[in-house]
Structure 1
Amino acid sequence: MGIRWRCDMDKPVLIQNFKRRGWIDVSSEVEEDSWDLWWANVQSVKQLFGDSLTRLQPHQRINHFPNHYELTRKDLMVKNIKRYQKQVKREGGNAAELDIIPATYVLPQDYMLFAEEFRRCWQLQQKEQQREQQQQQQREREQQGGGGGGGGSSSSGGGGAMASGGGGGTNAAGSSGGGTTWIMKPSSKSQGKGIFLINKLSQIKQWSVGSLPPALRSGTDSYVVSRYIDNPLLIGGKKFDMRIYVVVTSFKPLRVFVSSLGFCRFCNVKYSAEVGELENEFMHLTNVAIQQQGQDYNPHHGNKWPLADMRLYLEATRGPEAAERLFADIDGVILKSLRACQNIIVNDRHCFELYGYDIIIDDTLKPWLIEVNASPSLSTTTQADRLLKHRVISDTLNVVSPPDWLAATDPTALPPDVRGLDPAEHPFREQVGSMRLICDESEEYARWQEERERQAVRAARTAAAAAAAAAAGSAARDGAGGAGGDWSRGAHEQGQGQQGRRLDRHQSARAAVGGRVPVQQYGGGSGGGAGDGGSRQGPGGFAQQPPLPPQQPHHHQAAGGGEPRWEPARAFRNTGAAAGASRAGGGGGGAGGGSRPRSAV
């Protein structure tokens, strides 16, 4: 029987994945146990788990944990992270390592704490501006004292204008009671709805008494106000944030996968930190729903950039080590946020979660967690967007599917690393398509890792022993071969010496007879005649053919279809009389048919 699925959302990237696997659609059926996988919206999950009598069957899986909102509601996420920081500090840990979100407060209940922090930040900014102004004035005095002439006057004038401008800005900020920028967000809304920036406490007071339009006042809905990251990393002068997909299959023990298929979302307008631009949402808010309304929006790429391209950009501009460190830090931010909620979220083995993490990078390459989405958008705006999200869903299904689900799935819909998977290895996969395991705190995984390490140690020892044995055998062979080689070389050199002495006596005798030395001719015979014209093999003749002359050789086929014989274009010439060489023939016919020496031309 096939796997049965339900889906509350009419999203092609979901439905196409289910159908491609050969699973059966039972969305229209009302029986509680008629489904194996339910891709539900948060309202359905609230209704399902709101009934304490609900009991899921062992084979059923659903895509949300009962109280997933502990991480995905902005106000609850902030509370849980702050509580976790205090817990770590009490236990003697380093709470500074949990500095993963900007300074954030929940309004209206944390208004007094926020007002105190706002004033403290403003005072620090004023001191910093005064220090910078004093340093600028000191530089101007040094230039005036050492410059002299027209050049010094010009430089001083330019510096004075800059100082005046900076001072005016400081006074304006101080008189307005502002200077630091904060961002306000509704706790439970998405797609950029209700977000605005402030730099004055009076703006919060106006909001608190309900002076905003009704569309931005949601009754009992709270707001979070966070310190605005005003030094974001820019690419092409534009602000961006990162959407990273995270799959959690268990909170106790924690088991987390991170996808490499996220993307960056860019603003339409180049970034500026000027106070006058705070209301320009096309400059400050990266939400696609907002950027789509801008006149500079590009529908072909949707103002998006794959994470892989962003990583290549960082490697080129900041170096591979910096890029590697950034993505490792992002993994750390994800794990710290999940551990902050680990003891609060109700763990249910029937549940899993696909989170959409929104992270912004500042110009020091520090990642900051902005928010976590329980139902990241599966709408697609471009072809590349569709392919990316289709694959994210496919990889998510491969992560959460039990082995029997994969066995009942059309193999053509599965990647090779999943298609032939051993069921015994299924729970311990560390890479599933784009999904990379970054945490598994289960005892089973720890035991599996220990066994794998033991196997690796045994394999390394076996390989080392085999290599040592091979090296010992090779050394023994080299020793024996070296002794034999020395004996062979000695015998060869002795033979060569005897041959050389005999050749010298032979040539001396020939010279004594006729005063001539015969021309060397390539002969094939092993026999020798009285004339010694053939090339002999053995102690009295040439053991090998002499080297070819520089001329191009001619290729001849040996008689009887034997091996071809190479001959030079013309014979070596003797400096002696040709007639003597010609008369030296007569002994060329032996067993090998040696040829008579030719006379020099």
Structure 2
Amino acid sequence: MSSAKERRTSNQITIPTITTSQSTPQTPREQKKKKILFKCALTNTISDVLTNREGWAQTQGDDWQFFWVTREWMTTCYDKHKFTEKQLICHFRNDFELTRKDFLIKNYKKARKAKEKSGVDVATEFNFIPSSYVLPAEYHLFVEEFRKYPTDTIWIMKPVAGAQGKGIFLFRKLKHVQEWKKKDSSGSEALPYVVQSYIHNPYLVGGKKFDVRIYVLFRPMNAWVHREGFARFSHSRYSTESVDDAFVHLTNVAVAKTAADYDPERGLKWSLPKLFRFFKSMHGQSKVSKTMNDLAKVIIESLKSVQNLIIQDTHCFELYGYDILFDENLKPWLLEVVI
């Protein structure tokens, strides 16, 4: 997979290594100086990978070069921390401008409008997110748009900060949109939702819908696309006859696992290289190359849409997860960006 800038690809973060030159046995402290020093605020797979990585050593002090921080640390400590030259952390202060669905849509629309004013044909050159509205703020705009579409058009509703398929539902009639207005058990208003026109003609493999998770490492003015990634398939074969069957329309593993006949051994994932080999076998190299170029453009344009909003601190990087859906013409559509 080529990179989003100058076609460079990287599978790791490069941090300068401190080295010493000794001809006599080294003390533990001297041995530690030869390694990349890291801290990790989590106790999950990320911590395990860092701990077991050759040439890396964990530290509890402030002499770290790499710190996998939490969102809480970003909120409470980022503005107070005095970074040394070689220190690097895994988040930007306001990365939500890209990773919250409502902010993603707001910034996409703003960038699209600017492109249109400059004479760009946005219908062909800047069109990678389906028609979208944030409710309740844009409810009346959505109703106007809704009435322009055929009556059998399918729409999809998503919580702006949801994950793992929770709270997502499809509908064809306006009365079903009232779901987002319902109050939770505490009596407070439900979180805002994003409503989008549903991509009704997804590319199918074996009759099943899928989306793709692509990892993009971003540092100010540079972005690298990881060679690895994966495609997630729906549990059941695709059909638009029913909009209520999550096993047909959603590709989240968390949703598939709830199916009575879910088989963890069979799995519902392909690696990204396997998927593109399949594309090549079905459509040829030329078509797949165009799709990859279109995909790179989606990544670049989405990052450019927030470049003046996200604080460009050189001590920060972000590992974004781009969720992409291909339609039957191999056009990539951006569903969301996660961290």
Q: TM-score band (shorter)? A: 0.7 to 0.9
- Are 2:46 and 1:19 equivalent residues in the alignment? no
1:255 matches 2:222: yes
Local SS of the residue matching 1:270: coil
CA shift, 1:242, in A, is 0.3
Secondary structure of the corresponding residue to residue 261 of structure 1:
strand
Deviations 1:238-297 (A, max 9, x none): 0000000101011xxx211001201100011000011xx211111111011111112343
From 201, 207, 214, the counterpart of 1:231: 201
2:305 to 340, 353, 363: 340
Indicate the percent of aligned positions where both proteins have the same amino acid: 41
After superposition, the C-alpha distances for 1:94-146 in whole angstroms (9 at most, x for unaligned) are 3331111000000000000101111111xxx2xxxxxxxxxxxxxxxxxxxxx
Cα pair distance change 1:299/1:116, threshold 3 Å:
same
Distance 1:105 1:279 in 2: 21
Q: Which runs of 5+ in 2 are unaligned?
A: 1-32
Separation of aligned partners in 2, 1:183 and 1:283: 13
Matched with 2:102 is 75
In the alignment, the residues of structure 1 paired with residue 330 and residue 233 of structure 2 have an alpha-carbon distance, to the nearest angstrom, of 17
- Mapped partners of 1:193, 1:42: distance in 2: 21
Cα deviations by residue, 1:10-40 (Å, 9 ceiling, x for unpaired): 22354234432232223xx3x5x34221112
| Aligned residue number for residue 18 of structure 2 | none
Contact persistence 1:263–1:307 (CA under 8 A) = yes
1:193 is matched with 166
Listed as ranges, the gaps of 5+ residues in structure 1 are 126-177, 375-601
Shift, 1:373, TM fit: 0.4
Q: 1:45 aligns with which of 55, 74, 80?
A: 74
Give the whole-Å Cα distance in 2 for the aligned partners of 1:111 and 1:350: 40
TM-score of the two chains, using structure 1 as the length reference: 0.49
Between the aligned partners of 1:287 and 1:44, the Cα distance in structure 2 is: 29
Structure 2 residue aligned with 1:302, among 261, 267, 275? 267
Assess, with a 3 A threshold, how the Cα gap between structure 1 residues 54 and 365 changes in structure 2: closer, same or farther.
same
Decide whether the 8 Å contact of 1:297 with 1:303 is kept in 2: no
Instruction: Provide the rounded CA distance (Å) in 2 between the counterparts of 1:192 and 1:9.
Output: 24
Alignment-derived partner of residue 141 in structure 2 = 113
The alignment's TM-score, normalised by the length of structure 2, stands at: 0.85
Q: How far, CA to CA, are the matches of 2:228 and 2:122 in structure 1? A: 31
For 1:320 and 1:299, locate their aligned partners in 2 and report how far apart those are by CA, in whole Å: 33
**Number of the residue aligned with 2:13:** none
How much has 1:363 moved relative to structure 2? 0.7
Retained in 1: the 8 A contact 2:180–2:193? no
Kindly indicate whether residue 45 of structure 2 is the aligned counterpart of residue 7 of structure 1: no
Q: In structure 2, the residue corresponding to 1:347 is in which secondary structure?
A: coil
Shift, 1:309, TM fit: 1.1
Report SS of the residue matched to 1:350.
coil
Aligned match of 1:431: none
Give yes or no for the alignment of 1:240 onto 2:210: yes
CA-CA distance at 1:220 after TM superposition: 5.7
Q: Distance in 2 between matches of 1:218 and 1:298?
A: 39
Which residue identity lines up with residue 121 of structure 2 in the other structure? N
**2:94 counterpart SS class:** coil
The one-letter amino acid paired with 1:192 is: G
Is 1:321 aligned with 2:294? no
Partner Cα separation in structure 2 for residue 118 and residue 270 of structure 1: 27
Q: Which has the higher strand share?
A: 2
Q: Distance in 2 between matches of 1:10 and 1:219?
A: 34
Per-residue deviation, residues 140-190 of structure 1 (Å, max 9, x unmatched): xxxxxxxxxxxxxxxxxxxxxxxxxxxxxxxxxxxxxx4211111111121
Q: SS in structure 2 opposite 1:357?
A: strand
For 1:61, the aligned partner's letter is L
In the TM superposition, 1:164-563 aligns within 5 A as 178-208=151-181, 210=182, 214=185, 219=189, 221-250=191-220, 254-274=221-241, 277-374=242-339
Residue in structure 2 matched with residue 88 of structure 1 by the alignment:
115
Matched to 1:272, the amino acid is S
Partner of residue 132, structure 2: 104
The CA RMSD measured in Å over matched residues stands at: 1.9
CA contact (8 A) 1:241 1:360 kept: yes
Partner of 1:65: 92
CA distance in 2, matches of 1:101, 1:190: 18
Q: Tell me what 1:54 maps to.
A: 81
Q: Which amino acid aligns with 1:35?
A: W
Task: Say whether the 8 Å CA contact 1:242–1:264 is kept in structure 2.
Answer: yes
- Runs of 4+ in structure 1 deviating by more than 3 angstroms, as ranges, are 217-220
Q: Distance in 2 between matches of 1:206 and 1:293?
A: 22
The 2-side partners of 1:315 and 1:230 are apart by 23
